[in-house]
Amino acid sequence: MGFSQKALLQDLRDLGLKEGDKVLVHTSLSKVGLVEDGPEGFVHTIVEAVGENGLAVFPTFTGTSEDSALKPPYFDVLETPSWTGKVPEAARKLPNAIRSLHPTHSVAVIGKDAKNLVDGHEFVDTPCDKNSPFGILAETGGKIILVGVCHNSNTTFHTAEEYANCPYHMLDDPAVCTIVDYQRNEKKLPTKLHRWGTNRDFNRLEDVFLEKGVEKVGLVGKATCRILETGPMLDIIVSYLKKDPYYLVVKD
């Protein structure tokens, strides 16, 4: 049996997603079950849940472990597919979505003042820093939902790593990336890149989030779904990383 958009909307409400919320959504749709109207239907359900005064934000990431100053990313806002799943792919193609121009960590945003959240993302110092959509959501009462995925998909942990200057997190040399914008203009911008390959466990702090009431867990369809208050969550992660910048790193 599949899940109607109405049933999924009720699940999201029960979880605590409200009209007017600004929410970053990380998804594994196959965990939800068969969804009415597929990935587009799921995007529509999130957009309806936050309403016309809210903001639905989808990660449309394109960075890879191959990226470096010697192999700089090429990012075309209209053409470059993301690897973050069918839901973000469906979202970024909707006519009312705006995708940011960051060459590795773009987001597609639908809703009130969406442009304000994406504007200038390509100029940030590091991909997830305080001026990026991830940092801005933390500062402005945003929420995160992890649909069928655990904290290892919770990008805002990278925001914490960037706030705390974790020594393993960034490559030393910026890459001069090529970005093609909505007007089809091509520009080259130096961009700092994440360093891939350090094994981290972002689930380590889940008990703390639950204990402090910044995370709640429920079901959306058949998927375990986590909802988090972004700002308080980020404060907790940063506090641990300030004490030990390697706190999240898995020791062999």
Ligand X SMILES: CC(C)(COP(=O)(O)OP(=O)(O)OC[C@H]1O[C@@H](n2cnc3c(N)ncnc32)[C@H](O)[C@@H]1OP(=O)(O)O)[C@@H](O)C(=O)NCCC(=O)NCCS
Residues near ligand X, by CB under 6 A: 26-31, 34-35, 38, 59, 84-87, 149, 153, 155
Could you tell me which residues are beta bridge partners of residue 35? 3
Instruction: Round to whole Å and give the CA distance between 225 and 236.
Output: 20
Nearer to ligand X, 28 or 116 (CB): 28
Minimum Å gap between C-beta 31 and ligand X is: 6
- Match 């995370």 to its residue by tokens: 215
Minimum Å gap between C-beta 85 and ligand X is: 3
Q: Are 78 and 182 in contact (CB under 8 A)?
A: yes
Nearer to ligand X, 3 or 247 (CB): 3
User: What stretches of the chain show up as alpha helix (H) in DSSP?
Assistant: 5-15, 29-32, 38-50, 86-92, 114-118, 133-139, 156-163, 206-211, 230-243
Nearer to ligand X, 211 or 224 (CB): 224
Minimum Å gap between C-beta 30 and ligand X is: 3
Residue nearest to ligand X (CB): 85
Minimum Å gap between C-beta 94 and ligand X is: 16
Nearer to ligand X, 8 or 136 (CB): 8
Instruction: Round to whole Å and give the CA distance between 143 and 140.
Output: 9
Nearer to ligand X, 59 or 72 (CB): 59
Minimum Å gap between C-beta 65 and ligand X is: 13
Instruction: Round to whole Å and give the CA distance between 119 and 99.
Output: 9
